[in-house]
Amino acid sequence: MSSLLNAYTSVAGEDVINHLLQLSKPLAGKKVLHVNSTREGGGVAEILHKLVPLMADLGLDVSWEVITGQPDFYKCTKSFHNALQGHRITVGTGLLEVYEKTNRENAERFEDVLREADFVFIHDPQPAALIDSIPNRKGKWIWRCHIDCSRPYRPIWKYLRDYCARYDASIFSLPDFAQRLSHPQYIIAPSIDPLSEKNISLPAGEVNEVFSEFGLDPDLPLLVQVSRFDRFKDPLGVIEAFMQVRRHVPCQLVLAGGGASDDPEGQAVLEEVLTAASGEPDVHVLVLPPDAHRKINALQRAADIVIQKSTREGFGLTVSEAMWKARPVVGGDTGGIRIQVIDHYTGFRVRTPEGAALRIRYLLHHKDKRLEMGKRARRLVRENFLLTRHLREYMALMISLMNGSQDRIDISTS
């Protein structure tokens, strides 16, 4: 067994790893390609950085390609993202043409691997139209949607559905997000890597360093939200909740984030956040580089409470990350946060700044509850949201697509 797999044994248990090894046998040497639109920033890149090496360790011939485009392409795909998450947005034909052309150009760039792969995982809408340029493809194509599309804006979904419907299968993170499509749909929740720099345990000294490094007060309770600067993450709502809490309990807030190269709205949202935070010495807006994984890890561990007050959320890796560190989470009552934050058990789900403030105040006053919820939160992540479970489900899906409509597949003899 490789040293990487060995390392996972200590966190996930021997049975889990043996199961992965067994599932990997029929997939040995299969060409698997993942395609998304950014190498850094956001949850998809975060997952692929970890999933791809682990698949390779299990003997799959796996690669990862990133499509690129001009600013208008990202403008268009950000509108798709916002529309799938429910905003009524019109995208002009000019931008749609840029989307289609960019996909055609990218398909030409890595046409051979797209055509030859046994399994192609296309992540989110940005590269969804690649399928149009590869008519005689060899493998199974899977559209993997990471977005909360429980209530998509229909005109945009209708446009994208024409592409998605051509795939052999699709994956959504929650049953609520599944759409009317004629191919098999799988529900697979995302995951975090317990061995990554973002999630490994850190020496107390390194955690405490964040106080001096970012000008925080080690004697004041710390609230942290880590997120791209995106309106769906509701950073302004977090500041509003913080102001309400602070009228009653002294505390400080960190909003830590960075950009993703496929997200053109980040700068404008950051400016709104800086304006809302100006003149507030206890609100710390930190713009971190994309590789600041250990810093984010330390901030999440330094926090008394982690907040993720999203108004739409495909999954919310930041929630799992905080829970893995045994922190209670006050999270928006939406999308993937609902399967992680079990209300009153691993944290609290909220809808408004007032609701968030109320729950934060409660937790700040009850250290015993914070610790109790944090312990349960870690257990929930261990059992449901680690990379090993995610990989097991991807491999099971590939085996099932390979075997078509057979209702029983014997993998022990493969």
CA dist 333 to 233, 289, 351, 357, 381, Å? 12, 29, 6, 14, 18
The verdict on 315 binding ligand UDP (CB under 6 A) reads yes
| Closest listed residue to residue 27, CA positions, set 69, 68, 59 | 59
Size of the site for ligand UDP (CB under 6 A): 17
Site stretch for ligand UDP (CB under 6 A), options 121-129, 220-228, 268-276, 382-390: 220-228
* Closer Cβ to ligand UDP, 296 or 330, answer by number: 296
d(CA 329, CA 309): 9
Length of the chain: 414
Output the six-digit token pair for 148.
């909360």
Question: What b/e readout covers 372-408, taking b as 16+ CB neighbours within 10 angstroms?
Answer: ebbebbbebbbeebbbbbbbbbbbbbbbbbbeeeeee
Q: Which window, 102-110, 178-186, 234-242, 310-318, contacts ligand UDP (CB under 6 A)?
A: 310-318
CB of 292 to ligand UDP, least distance (A): 6
Segment near ligand UDP (CB under 6 A); pick from 57-65, 107-115, 314-322, 327-335: 314-322
The stretch among 102-110, 225-233, 339-347, 357-365 that binds ligand UDP (CB under 6 A) is: 225-233
Q: Which is nearer to ligand UDP, 162 or 291 (CB)?
A: 291
3-class DSSP state for residue 50? Answer: helix
119-123 sheet: strands from edge to edge = 61-66, 31-36, 119-123, 140-144, 169-172, 185-187
Integer angstrom CA distances of residue 29 from 2, 38, 62, 158, 205:
16, 26, 9, 37, 44
Interaction residues for ligand UDP, span 335-354 (CB under 6 A): none
In whole angstroms, give the CA distance from residue 69 to residue 80.
Answer: 15
Nearer to ligand UDP, 263 or 282 (CB): 263
Rounded to whole angstroms, the Cα distance separating 317 from 155 reads 29
Query: Looking at beta carbons only, is 261 or 403 nearer to ligand UDP?
Result: 261
User: Closer to ligand UDP at the Cβ: 324 or 394?
Assistant: 324
* Range 37-76, binding ligand UDP (CB under 6 A): 42-43, 46
Q: How far is the CB of 88 from ligand UDP (least distance, A)?
A: 21
Judged by CB under 6 A, which stretch of 156-164, 199-207, 222-230, 382-390 contacts ligand UDP? 222-230
As given in the structure block, the two tokens for residue 301 are 């561990």
Taking the complex as a whole, how short is the minimal distance between the CB of residue 6 and ligand UDP, in angstroms? 24
Enumerate residues 24-43 that contact ligand UDP by CB under 6 A: 42-43
Q: Which is nearer to ligand UDP, 24 or 77 (CB)?
A: 77
The answer to whether 302 contacts ligand UDP (rule: CB under 6 A) is no
Q: Which is nearer to ligand UDP, 103 or 173 (CB)?
A: 173
The pattern of x and - marking residues 255 through 294 that bind ligand UDP according to CB under 6 A reads -xxx-----------------------------x------
List Cβ neighbours of 325 (8 Å cut-off, separation of 6 or more).
199, 297, 300, 301, 374, 378
Is residue 331 a contact residue for ligand UDP (CB under 6 A)? no
- Closer to ligand UDP at the Cβ: 55 or 189? 189
- Please state, in angstroms and rounded to a whole number, the distance separating the CA atoms of residues 314 and 146: 6
Member of 17, 149, 224, 296 binding ligand UDP (CB under 6 A): 296
Chain-centroid distance of CA 40 in Å reads 12
Find out whether 299 and 327 touch, Cβ atoms under 8 Å: no
Rg of the Cα atoms in the chain: 21
Calculate the alpha carbon distances from 289 to 240, 252, 335, 379 in Å.
Answer: 26, 22, 27, 30
Q: Which listed residue (82, 106, 252, 318) binds ligand UDP by CB under 6 A?
A: 318
The sign of the torsion formed by the CA atoms of 277, 306, 171, 389 equals positive
- Of 113-121, 137-145, 313-321, 354-362, the window that binds ligand UDP (rule: CB under 6 A) is 313-321
Contacting positions for ligand UDP (CB under 6 A): 42-43, 46, 198, 226-228, 256-258, 288, 296, 315-318, 321
